[in-house]
Amino acid sequence: MNAKKWVSTLLTACMVMLLLAACGKGNNEGAASSSSASASPSASASESASASPSAAPADLSGKLTVWTYFDQVKILADNFMKVHPNVKVDVQIFPGDQYQTKLMSALQSGKNTPDIMDLDHGYIGKFLESPFLADLSAMGGEDLVKSYVPYVTAYGRSADGKLRAISDNSSPGGFWYVRETAKKYLGTDDPDQISAMVDSWDKVIELGKKVAKDSGGKVHLIQGASGLFDIEAFNTESWVKDGKLNIDPKWKDTYATQLKIRSEGVDAKLGFMSSGWGSALNDGSVVLTSMPSWATFMIGNKDGAAKGKFGIAKTPEGWYNGGRWEAIYDKSPNKELAYEFLKYVASPEWQTINLQQTGNMPSNAAVFDQLQDSFKGDLYGDQLILKGFAEQMKSMPARQPNKYDDDILGKWVKVASQGIDNNTPYDDVVAAFKKEVKNTYPEIQVD
Amino acid sequence: MKSKVNKSVYGYLFISPFFIAYTVMGLVPILYTLYLSFTKWDGFTNPIYVGFANYERLLHDTFFYQTIGNTLIIWIFSIVPQLIIALLLALILNEKFIKGKHFFRAVFYFPHIITPITLGVMFALMFDWQTGSINMLLMKIGVIHDPIHWFNNPWWSRIIAASVICWQYFGFNLIVFIAGMQSIPTEVFEAAEVDGASKSQVAWRITLPLLRPVFLFTLITSVIGGLQLFDAPLMLGDGPGNSGRTMIMYLYETAFKSFDYSYGAAIAYGIFIIIMIFTAITAKATKMTKEA
């Protein structure tokens, strides 16, 4: 009897211990451990892009933890470890929709924090004003970005002007087209000629009407009127100025253009990244698809099926969409080593490898300058795609981020998209939009 | 002889795992949410106490009231056909002469196994404006000339969301009804047969009245579940003018998209109170029915 009691007590105690152990365990759920599969770069860094790896490779040693939501960071880490064999980089990947919450919880609690964290364009503004990001300017970061595309640098600065995050990509956008379809409906597949055909929205509408007529309404010139939201997103003023909601007058013209595009049958009414959008991009049932350079994963290129199939033309205005910045946790015990990692991120050496391996466009203007006359992507035949992007990337307005812009833009997109579908007058769209903003952000003054 | 209750402390050890788990995983977050609802917190700085400001904001929040209405509409649109379909099928599949009834029971139950997110995505693709199979089919058979923009109409948005839920749960209710029917003593049916009752008379006068407890169970569980509609409607979007946004969707958007944790916490408690009110009404109705 006594023994029975003893055993049952012990078992119960074990259960309680197990439970407590489970609760107190380091929270690494969903985190992919560091990748050991090295992604061997198919091409070495360009000769002209001078590699400037910082410290002597053998001098650096230690371990870095990088948090991200983007699996290609493993390629970056593997390449960094090739240059610095004594450094171990542990890349932990979290699902994109949970990443921000996960990161905020870790930073707030100060437990299980990363040394380096990835921040998306959509929410970097909030993090830049938080006390968690190291001041890269004080560590010599200004040197890293001195030849950078201006808007990329600006988007990594906090309100006090200090650099707190840097990016290895610039995410430029353009009109992707299937060459065969372009020849059929536009009479040419030459990117410069097509760019000239669509260098204003009026021309886009006229050409769109012609394509719709020629194809009996089966083929459309562009995917969706909603594409203009992305194109205008950073060619307009910030949504909040001095604590007040600011609606750039340019949005009114843009909305009028969008209504016209819809009413004239210029667009295929497909939402960005929807399944129909993906099909149209690949089968050419839409002539021009506006998308950022990182969206090429939507192109079906199994066994090189899309080799030389596409061309890229310029949109009426230069633009970019999205992007991923990297920052150092201010209380990281490995700040110096983390800074070496960021040095590599900013280097032409890495950005060249990145361009060749993943097609991600560089943020370092030096890479544009050195490769624009020679770089050819697999999908684009002989087109020198960097040449087209270089000019527009350098001339994009360098806008400081804030914690509201992306969210408020999302609200505008939601309300204005419904307006386009229903042919709603602009003032009604603005009224509905103001109501949304006022409700979500009571602290913003809405007139 | 006196009965003696054994007050051994070991009992507490045995029940402790649940209570520890509940305290850590359930009670602490619930209480912390209550604390947050009295603060202003964006997740970066420390929470600042603001008293009832969030609740005051909630009381004047027309968007929140709209979500209550949306949730109720979607719930009613899903529960009514759900129960009717489940009941009719249960009556049919409960007949002895039906062949392959086990196969059909399994088939009707399948949607309940699929996650609501998957169903939401599936319906969103099916009812897509330009590429959805529903529009393609209707155009093919000549019912419509141009594709219908289903999600641009407040009522269609809600009906589609309700359809997803209806389709997911009618199989579950079907099984519950069949189980209820099988618990009715066969003697009752035999007596009815002897008295010459028709099939419809048996259904109306015997089966349905005796299924009342099962109906009540279904109703209570669906009230609690229905007011927490979230995942399937989320996949279908907010709808025009936010007409498809449910209470929990609004909570999710506030707390985890706009990262206004403190107001999100106040919304959570607002929803808690609403669900409590509706559950109390249902419980009251149940009591009245029992007394009747």
Q: What percent of chain A has pLDDT over 70?
A: 87
- Count how many domains chain A has: 2
Residue A44 is assigned to a structural domain of this protein: no
For residue A47, name the pLDDT band (cuts at 50, 70, 90). Answer: very low
B11 forms beta bridges with: none
Residue-wise pLDDT for A199-211, tens only, equals 999 999 999 999 9
Give which of A14, A19, A283, A406 to mutate to test B binding, by max B Cβ within 10 Å. Answer: A19
* Same-domain status, A211 and A280: yes
Residues A424 and A377 in one domain: no
Q: Which of A85, A123, A84, A87 is nearest to A104 (CA)?
A: A123
Q: pTM for this structure?
A: 0.86
Residue ranges of chain B that CATH labels 1.10.3720.10: 56-288
Q: Please indicate whether, in this complex, the C-beta atoms of A276 and B131 are within 8 angstroms of each other.
A: yes
- Residue A57 placed within a domain: no
Within this chain, do residues A408 and A297 fall inside the same structural domain, yes or no?
yes
Of A9, A100, A276, the CB nearest to B130: A276
A328 closest CA partner among A32, A146, A128: A128
Provide the residue-wise pLDDT of chain B in tens; the chain has 292 residues. Answer: 555 667 778 889 999 999 999 999 999 999 999 999 999 998 888 899 999 999 999 999 999 999 999 999 999 999 999 999 999 999 999 887 888 888 999 999 999 999 999 999 999 999 999 999 999 999 999 999 999 999 999 999 999 999 999 999 999 999 999 999 999 999 999 999 899 999 899 999 999 999 988 988 888 888 888 888 999 999 999 999 999 999 999 999 999 888 899 999 999 999 999 999 998 888 888 776 655 4
A105 and A159 assigned to the same domain: yes
**Which of A36-40, A355-359, B77-81 comes out lowest in average pLDDT?**
A36-40
> Within this chain, do residues A270 and A355 fall inside the same structural domain, yes or no?
no
For the segment A220-252, what is each residue's pLDDT rounded down to a tens digit?
999 999 999 999 998 999 999 999 999 999 999
Taking the CA of residue B35 and the nearest CA in chain A, the distance in Å comes to 17
A92 plus A190 within the same structural domain: no
A156 shares its domain with A204: no
Mutate to test the interface with A, among B9, B22, B131 (most CBs of A within 10 A): B131
Task: Answer yes or no: do A251 and A204 share one domain.
Answer: yes
| Residue A140 shares a structural domain with residue A276 | no
Alpha-carbon span B252 to B254, nearest angstrom? 5
Q: Are A298 and A327 within one domain?
A: no
A287 with A371, same domain: the answer is no
Please give the residue that has the higher pLDDT: either A41 or B174: B174
Q: Is residue A360 part of a domain?
A: yes
Residue A25 counted as domain residue: no
CA distance A123 to B207: 58
Give domain status of residue A39, yes or no.
no
The closest CB to that of A418, out of B44, B130, B240, belongs to B240
A181 is a domain residue: yes
What pLDDT does residue A35 have? Answer: 29
What superfamily does domain B56-288 belong to in CATH? MetI-like (1.10.3720.10)
Q: The domain that contains A99 carries what CATH number?
A: 3.40.190.10
The range of the structural domain enclosing residue A83 comes to: 62-171+322-394
Q: In chain B, which residues touch A (CB < 8 A)?
A: 10, 13-14, 16-17, 20-21, 24-25, 42-45, 57, 61-63, 125, 128-131, 149, 152, 238, 240-241, 254, 256-260
User: How far is the C-alpha of B59 from the C-alpha of B40, rounded, in Å?
Assistant: 17
pLDDT band at A55 (very low <50, low <70, confident <90, very high): low
Domain assignment present for residue A36? The answer is no
* Residue A139 clears pLDDT 80, i.e. is over it: yes
User: Is the domain of A194 the same as that of A165?
Assistant: no
Contact B259 A274 (CB under 8 A): no
